[in-house]
Chains A and B, each alone.
Chain A
Amino acid sequence: MKGSKDAQRIARQLLKATVENGEVNGGTVKTVLRKLATDKPRGYLGVISAYAHLVRLELEKSHAVIESASPLGGTLEASVVADLKGKYGEQITSEFKNNPELLGGMRVRVGSDVWDGSVRNRLERLREKIG
Chain B
Amino acid sequence: MSNILQELESEIASLKTSVTKSNVGVVREIGDGVAKIEGLSDVMLNEMIEFPGGLYGLALNLEETEVGVVLMGSGLNIKEGDEVRTTGRLLQVPVGRDMLGRTVDSLGAPLDGKGEIKADAQYPVEKIAPGIIARQSVSVPVQTGIQAIDAMIPVGRGQRELIIGDRQTGKTTIAVDTIISQANQNRAAAEGKLKDHKPIYCIYVAIGQKLSNVARIIQTLENAGAMEYTTVVSEAASEPASKQYLAPYTGCAIGEWFMDQGEDVLIVFDDLSKHAVAYREMSLVLRRPSGREAYPGDVFYLHSRLLERSARLSEKEGGGSMTALPIVETQAGDVSAYIPTNVISITDGQIFLETDLFYQGIRPAISVGLSVSRVGSAAQTKAIKKVSGTTKLDLAQYRELQAFAQFGSDLDEKTKATLDRGARIVELFKQNQYSPIPLELQVSTLWAMQNGHFDDVAVEHVKDCQLKMEEFLSTRKDELMGKLRDEKAITDEIGAELKTAVEDFKNSYKSPAGE
Contact = CB atoms under 8 A, between A and B. Distances in A.
A71 to B, nearest CB: 20
Given A112-B40, A114-B24, A129-B14, A54 B65 contact: yes
A117 B14 contact: no
Nearest to B287: A2
Interface string B35-74: 0001111100000000000000000000011000000000
Interface stretch (B15-23, B120-128, B266-274, B462-470): B15-23
Given A54-B65, A57-B38, A113 B17 contact: no
B15 A114 contact: no
Contacts of B24: 109, 112-114
A117 B16 CA distance: 12
Interface stretch (A23-31, A89-97, A118-126): A118-126
B42 A112 contact: yes
A90 B188 CA distance: 76
Nearest to A129: B15
B305 interface: no
B85 interface: yes
B17 A115 contact: no
B41 A111 contact: yes
A7 B41 CA distance: 23
A116 B20 contact: yes
A114 B65 CA distance: 18
Contact of A115 (B21, B25, B40, B64): B21
B503 interface: no
A54 B64 CA distance: 10
Contact of A117 (B19, B38, B40, B65): B19
Given A53-B65, A129-B14, A129-B15, A112 B20 contact: no
Q: How large is the interface on A (under 10, 10 to 19, 20 to 34, 35 or more residues)?
A: 10 to 19
Contacts of B85: 114
Given A53-B65, A111-B39, A117 B18 contact: yes
B119 to A, nearest CB: 15
Interface in B24-39: 24-25, 28-29, 38-39
Nearest to B41: A112
A121 B38 CA distance: 22
Contacts of B65: 53-54, 57
Contact of B21 (A114, A126, A129): A114
Contacts of A121: 17, 20
A1 B41 contact: no
Contacts of A113: 21-24, 41-42
Given A112-B23, A114-B23, A1 B29 contact: yes
A28 B28 CA distance: 28
B20 A126 contact: no
Contacts of B15: 126, 129-130
B34 to A, nearest CB: 14
Contacts of B42: 112-113
B47 to A, nearest CB: 14
B38 A126 contact: no
Nearest to A124: B17
A123 to B, nearest CB: 9
A123 B63 CA distance: 34
B41 A125 contact: no
Nearest to B29: A1
Contacts of A1: 28-29
Interface string B267-297: 0000000000000000000000000000000
Contact of A116 (B19, B25, B41, B64): B19
Contact of A125 (B20, B29, B40, B64): B20
Interface string A1-31: 1000000000010000000000000000000
A114 B23 CA distance: 6
B38 A114 contact: no
Considering residues B19, B22, B24, which has the most beta carbons from chain A within 10 angstroms of its beta carbon? Answer: B19
7 contacts: A57-B38, A111-B39, A112-B41, A113-B42, A114-B85, A115-B20, A129-B14
Given A114-B24, A125-B20, 17 more contacts: A111-B41, A112-B23, A112-B25, A112-B41, A112-B42, A113-B22, A113-B23, A113-B24, A113-B42, A115-B19, A115-B20, A115-B21, A117-B18, A122-B17, A126-B15, A129-B14, A129-B15
Q: Which 5 A-B pairs have the closest CB atoms?
A: A117-B19, A112-B39, A122-B17, A112-B41, A114-B24
